[in-house]
């Protein structure tokens, strides 16, 4: 096949190419596939890696002698806080080990800020005339849904390979006191795979903000989820912020949802000691303690921080071939044609595919009609609105490898058909 970019082809060449793609698409539809690349879920084989959890804990007391079956210990068991403090580069006093979902912790923090304000707020956020968040895009749809639910306004900044457009962020926060926070997935971001550099983290930690209680929701959901042997290190945002005089600015979140069991892991929050006290103080109004038995079995399952790192290598061995397959098929089918660009993540759960402007929703619709479920176009933007209608999030972890291949071949066919329709339409 020729790899002349579509935009440089003659009308006749495009006509022939369009016919080829229509035939390929008709053949694809005739296969009656039913495949799903929508959500970043671990595959069953990944969940199986945590099977030993199901026969733990051995005994019921933690290392400090606490009977984990009983009420109490809002901040979580000490040994697990210590383990994840080391992994997240913070002090144990700065970490809370909670329930099974970091997203719930993020929602709780927003509720607490809304009703009471943070440790450095002048008033509850609900009493502000307006609250605005900066959202790097493309980003995680559930972050945006949550902000929307509060009626928090969202302004977008571009996400680059090394983190958000920090110049744009610094300008926005310097002058607008309604900007109270930003969301950031610092390591192997959802969906771009970006890793926030040390320099950008330092700037975010130190930049002057018009709001005295500006918060960075540092959602480190993929901190340990490396796809290569070269393991990205997350910037040490709490130390950077404390050193620049803004110790309460970052609130860090993480969980073992994609380390052990997506529905039965342990979630973590980290921040200044004051932030931890603030959080558990509010938490205590509606909770007597977390599931410490689950925390104990996690602590025994991993054994040490190195145990977590070692466990992640087994995940890598299962999912790296799926990402390699996505890359191979996109390169073979779309390379050189000037119809798409895509990320080559070194960790995390996603590939972000940018097709020709104005064709992402068409690609997703074509795929749907052929039996391949893709994340809705626009999902990686606030209100589901991708102004250029070009970004598609691909999540290859859940299906078995042969289905990833089939689904990606199908995606490539849909991208090509949508592209040639668009290029001919403009000719």
Would you say 17 or 279 has its CB closer to ligand PMP? 279
Asked if 380 is part of the footprint of ligand PMP (rule: CB under 6 A), the reply reads no
Report, in Å, the least distance between residue 369 CB and ligand PMP: 27
Contact status: 40 vs ligand PMP (CB under 6 A): yes
User: By C-beta, is 92 or 136 nearer to ligand PMP?
Assistant: 136
Residues 42-101 that bind ligand PMP (CB under 6 A): 101
Site string for ligand PMP, 220-239 (x = CB under 6 A): -x------------------
Site string for ligand PMP, 263-292 (x = CB under 6 A): ----x-------------------------
Number of residues that bind ligand PMP (CB under 6 A): 12
Choose which of 121, 132, 194, 255 interacts with ligand PMP (CB under 6 A): 255
Work out whether 334 is an interface residue with ligand PMP (CB under 6 A): no
Helix H, strand E, coil C: the string for the chain is CCCCCHHHCCHHHHHHHHHHHHHHHHHHHHCCCCEECCCCCCCHHHHHCCHHHHHCCCCCECCCCCECCCCCCCCCCHHHHHHHHHHHCCCHHHEEECCCCHHHHHHHHHHHHHHHCCCCCCCCHHHCCCCEEEEEECCCHHHHHHHHHHCCEEEEEEEECCEECHHHHHHHHHHCCCEEEEEECCCCCCCCCCCCCHHHHHHHHHCCCCCCCCEEEEECCCCCCECCCCCCCCCCHHHHHHHCCCCCCEEEEEECCCCCCCCCCCEEEECCHHHHHHHHHHHCCCCCCCCHHHHHHHHHHHCCHHHHHHHHHHHHHHHHHHHHHHHHHHHHHHCCCCCEEECCCCECCCEEEEECCCCHHHHHHHHHHCCEECCCCCCCCHHHCCCCCCEEEECCCCCCHHHHHHHHHHHHHHHHHHHHHHHHHHC
Peptide bond into 361 cis (omega under 30): no
- When the beta carbons of 185 and 340 are compared against ligand PMP, the nearer one is 185
- Smallest gap from Cβ 103 to ligand PMP, in A, equals 3
Among 25, 84, 133, 140, which residue interacts with ligand PMP (rule: CB under 6 A)? 140
- In whole angstroms, how close is the CB of 233 to ligand PMP at the nearest point? 18
Binder to ligand PMP among 49, 53, 80, 103 (CB under 6 A)? 103
**219 belongs to the binding site for ligand PMP (CB under 6 A):** yes
Determine if 251 is a binding residue for ligand PMP (CB under 6 A): no
Whichever of 33 and 318 has its CB closer to ligand PMP, that residue is: 318
The nearer residue to ligand PMP, 9 or 41, going by C-beta atoms, is 41
CB of 151 to ligand PMP, least distance (A): 21
Binding residue (CB under 6 A) for ligand PMP from 135, 169, 185, 394:
185
Q: Which residues bind ligand PMP (CB under 6 A)?
A: 40, 101-103, 140, 185, 190, 219, 221, 255, 257, 267
């Amino acid at each position: 096949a020729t790899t002349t970019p579509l935009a440089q082809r003659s009308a006749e060449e495009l006509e022939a190419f369009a016919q080829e793609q229509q035939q390929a698409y008709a053949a694809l539809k005739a296969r009656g596939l039913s495949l799903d690349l929508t959500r970043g879920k671990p595959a069953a084989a990944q969940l199986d890696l945590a099977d030993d959890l199901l026969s733990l804990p051995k005994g019921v007391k933690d290392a400090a002698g606490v009977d984990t079956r009983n009420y109490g210990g809002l901040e979580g068991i000490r040994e697990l806080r210590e383990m994840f403090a080391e992994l997240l580069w913070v002090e144990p006093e700065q970490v809370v080990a909670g329930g099974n979902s970091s997203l719930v912790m993020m929602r709780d923090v927003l509720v607490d800020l809304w009703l009471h304000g943070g440790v450095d707020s002048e008033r509850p956020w609900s009493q502000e005339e307006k609250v605005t968040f900066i959202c790097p895009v493309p980003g995680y749809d559930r972050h945006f849904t949550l902000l929307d639910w509060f009626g928090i306004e969202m302004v977008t900044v571009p996400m680059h390979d090394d983190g958000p457009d920090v110049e744009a962020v610094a300008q926005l926060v310097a002058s607008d006191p309604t900007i109270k926070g930003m969301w950031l997935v610092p390591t192997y971001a959802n969906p771009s795979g970006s890793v926030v550099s040390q320099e950008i983290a330092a700037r975010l930690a130190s930049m002057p903000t018009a709001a005295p209680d500006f918060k960075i929701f540092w959602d480190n959901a993929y901190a340990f989820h490396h796809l290569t042997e070269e393991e990205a290190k997350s910037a040490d945002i709490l130390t950077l912020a404390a050193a620049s005089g803004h110790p309460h600015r970052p609130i860090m979140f993480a969980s073992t949802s994609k380390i052990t069991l997506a529905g039965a892991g342990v979630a973590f929050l980290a921040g200044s000691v004051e932030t931890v006290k603030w959080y558990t103080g509010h938490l205590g109004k509606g909770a007597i303690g977390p599931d410490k038995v689950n925390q104990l079995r996690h602590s025994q399952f991993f054994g040490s921080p190195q145990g977590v790192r070692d466990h992640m290598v087994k995940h890598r061995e299962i999912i790296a071939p799926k990402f390699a397959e996505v890359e191979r098929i996109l390169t073979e089918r779309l390379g050189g044609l000037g119809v798409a660009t895509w990320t080559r993540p070194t960790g995390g759960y996603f590939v972000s595919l940018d097709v020709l402007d104005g064709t992402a929703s068409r690609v997703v619709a074509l795929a749907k009609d052929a039996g391949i479920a893709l994340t809705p176009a626009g999902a990686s933007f606030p209100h589901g609105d991708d102004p250029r209608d070009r970004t598609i999030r691909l999540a290859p972890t859940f299906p078995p490898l042969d289905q990833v291949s089939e689904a990606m071949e199908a995606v490539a066919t849909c991208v090509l058909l949508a592209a040639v329709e668009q290029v001919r339409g403009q000719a």
